[in-house]
Amino acid sequence: MAVTLADVAARARVSAATVSRVLSGNYPVAEGTRGRVLRAVEELAYVVNGPASALAAASSDLVGILVNDIADPFFGIIAGAVQTELSGAAQGGEKLAVVCNTGGSPERELTYLTLLQRQRAAAVVLTGSASEDAAHARALTATLARLADAGTRVVLCGRPTGAATAAETTGAVPGESQGAEEAREPGKARGAGRTLGADETRPRAPLTTLAAPAPLTTLAFDNRGGARQLTAHLIGLGHRRIGCVAGPAGRTTTGERLAGHRAALAAYGIADAPRRTVHGAYDRASGYDAAAELLRREAGLTAIVAANDTAALGVCAAVRDRGLRIPEDVSVAGFDDLPFSVDATPALTTVRLPLQEAGARAGRLAMGRAERPPGGLATLHAELIVRASTSIPYH
């Protein structure tokens, strides 16, 4: 049952009129009283109604899109695809997209979701990785449940949930046998031209503790499988001393990609030496610093895998600044297959995620123009793209 203004008033031991004055901010209220009211609002998770003219069960034409960093092409591609679907609806059915840049802050994420609920958003699309902090996961689950209960469609795009166990059934893909997404025999990489369908699923549960409210829909990327393919490719070329520039610690995407990398090492009997992994942000500067540290720790590394393509550019710069050649001395690989990766020098070997397709599908789901996948979960395949930045070790 929704928390009412009267509930807040009872908790704060004031009148409903006083609560209304505090929340409106238009009337003078004693500081102690204001503090009690605001604490009661927080403790009860009370959400103030949006525009006063809106009916209780009505929703607005607003759709919120939460991203970690809008300047990152990963999020820009997804958000752009979502917005295209919102504006491409039939006349009269268009929605207004509001992009909320969280900067990776769990607190900002919850704040934006609460603000969107106050505005009775028609839908919310959360993109990218989430914090692995258990307290935040519980708060996020409760917030999403309130949104869903209020009639807001909630779509997670590129963000897994604990409901991923629903993906334990395998969808057969035309032209590809089941199980083909596992790490292939080293050296047997798939061709670079194929984009995998957005409806393909994987029999693997992503890593996080977030439970999914029933109406919530998840489009998760196979970060673990993609990372495993990438490292297996390097091992197949003959690399055994492989450094890893991992993403920021405590994020679901980082955990999944690192788990895939380690799984490939284990599958071929290669020790996972802690000195060969350095965490950092998903940007060029962090990629540069992490690669410099890895090469300082172990000058004999013959390959480095990066958290994403942007970090891989920094890795390449650090390698060159040490007077080393790519790929003759050190092979470098990225992740995501962002548009610039093919134009890097040399062109980056990477893992392609269907960002455009995922964003478009999320947009259709947000508009109610696409059927939810079985169990509310679809896990989208990752594809190994082999280019010139990786080769056999020359030394």
What's the number of CA atoms in the CB half-sphere (13 Å) around residue 359? 23
What lies within 8 Å, CB to CB, of 121 at 6+ separation is: 59, 60, 62, 63, 64, 98, 147, 152
Amino acid at residue number 65: I
Query: What whole-number distance in Å separates Cα of residue 217 and Cα of residue 39?
Result: 32
Distance CA 94, CA 86 (A): 6
Amino acid identity for residue 88 in this structure = G
| Cα–Cα nearest to 154, from 221, 225, 77, 64 | 64
Average pLDDT, stretch 355-369?
Answer: 95
User: 337 or 1: which carries more pLDDT confidence?
Assistant: 337
Q: Which of 104-108, 146-150, 253-257 bottoms out in mean pLDDT, i.e. has the lowest?
A: 146-150
pLDDT tens for 262-293 read 999 999 999 999 999 999 999 999 999 999 99
Q: What's the CA gap between 276 and 189, in Å, rounded?
A: 24
CB atoms within 10 A of CB 336: 27
DSSP secondary structure, 212-244, as one string? --TT-EEEEE-HHHHHHHHHHHHHHHT---EEE
> For residue 153, what are its two tokens?
């469609």
Tell me the pTM.
Answer: 0.77
Round the average pLDDT of the chain to a whole number and report it.
84
User: What pLDDT is recorded for position 178?
Assistant: 29
* Number of residues in the chain: 395
Which single residue is written with the structure tokens 């994420």? 109
